[in-house]
Amino acid sequence: MERADVFRSNDSAKWFWVKGILIGRHSTGPPRTPVGVRSSFAAIRILVCSRLSISLTLPASASRLLESKDGGSRAVMKIRHPLLIKAVGAAGSRLVRGLGSTLDYHFRYADPNVNPEVARRQGQRYIYAFFHDVMLFPAHYWAWPTMHILISDHRDGEMITQVIKRLGFGVIRGSTTRGGSRALREMMTQLGQGNPCITPDGPRGPRHHVHQGIAFLARQTGLPIVGAGMAFDNPWRARSWDKFCVPRPYSLAACVAPAPVHVPPDADRETLEACRLEVERRMRDETAEAEEWLIHLKRKVG
């Protein structure tokens, strides 16, 4: 099937199209770092990883609120204090909005109907999957109440929950591993007409490995799985199991989405495993394609 690219119609255009369908708006003009980005980077300098262990530099007065894992002027610490969790949630949502607004997004869809903008208007529903390391991509671009994010069901997950709720997502606690059965049941009852959004390799990895919970959810809900590959151009990466990406301001970002995977309602264990492997294969292939596309885009701009 021929892919449908999202592209600029000219250098100064603000509106993007998918085969004649108007789907979104992006800011153009000379680069100017938003206040939210400047203040957030100055205040936190965070690289978030799935465990929400945050690598940062803080004044000594703040260190007593944190549980230090090792010493030094740049220690890796876990935030535990409830007030600090809320503060980081507020700052994190501001950072995601500010930083995300500077990025130059590019999209490619094997089937234009799986584009969340198009699907939302047409009343179609999918299970959207993206790898844990690039969650800042959909966190900014797909922040709608109809998109329900599955967040890890442990204490550190509360920080991501604070960020995600402030961005406008629906939140369901749990994961495809720890607390997964309860989370999947809650997701099926709370979804309504919404779309589940899952990081199938979270919360602990292995990196870019799809757990079987997403295939089970697809079987139970009847919703097809769209496993998108996403990439940022030369992002900062955390020293974590997923090599979590923080995009650089005003850099390129690409998303490549394959055709959806349909899981039969009567799928047995072997069929579920085959569907899981297919989702994983497509997500890895599309991630590699998104990274190659960014290289092509950089050469074209240069």
Decide if pLDDT at 74 tops 50. no
pLDDT one-digit tens code per residue, 258-280 = 999 999 999 999 999 999 999 99
Looking at the predicted structure, is the pLDDT value of residue 20 above 70?
A: no
pTM: 0.72
Classify residue 279 by burial, with Cβ atoms within 10 Å: 0-12, 13-18, 19+.
buried
Which residues 6+ apart lie within 8 Å of 235 measured at CB?
245, 246, 247, 248, 251
pLDDT tens sequence across 157-200: 777 788 888 888 888 776 555 545 666 666 676 677 788 898 99
How high is the pLDDT of residue 48?
Answer: 41
Greater confidence (136 vs 57) lies with 136
SS3 51: coil
pLDDT value of position 82: 76
Q: What is the mean pLDDT of the chain?
A: 75
Q: Which of the pair, 73 or 265, is modelled with greater confidence?
A: 265
Q: What percent of the chain has pLDDT over 70?
A: 66
For residue 24, the number of C-alpha atoms closer than 13 Å in the C-beta half-sphere is 19
Assign 110 a pLDDT band (cuts: 50, 70, 90).
very high
- pLDDT-derived band at 127 (thresholds 50, 70, 90) equals very high
Structure confidence at residue 64 (pLDDT): 41
pLDDT winner (highest mean) among 34-48, 206-220, 279-293: 279-293
Q: How confident is the model at residue 38 (pLDDT cuts 50, 70, 90)?
A: very low
pLDDT value of position 161? 83
Q: How confident is the model at residue 79 (pLDDT cuts 50, 70, 90)?
A: low
Of the candidates 29, 28, 27, 8, the residue with the CA atom closest to the CA atom of residue 18? 8
d(CA 149, CA 170): 6
pLDDT at 180: 54
Q: How far apart are CA 22 and CA 43, in angstroms?
A: 37
What does the alpha-carbon distance between residue 207 and residue 204 come to, in Å, rounded to a whole number? 8
Q: State mean pLDDT over 93-117.
A: 94
Is pLDDT at 71 greater than 50 in this prediction? no
Residue that wins the pLDDT comparison between 270 and 139: 270
Q: What is the pLDDT of residue 54?
A: 32
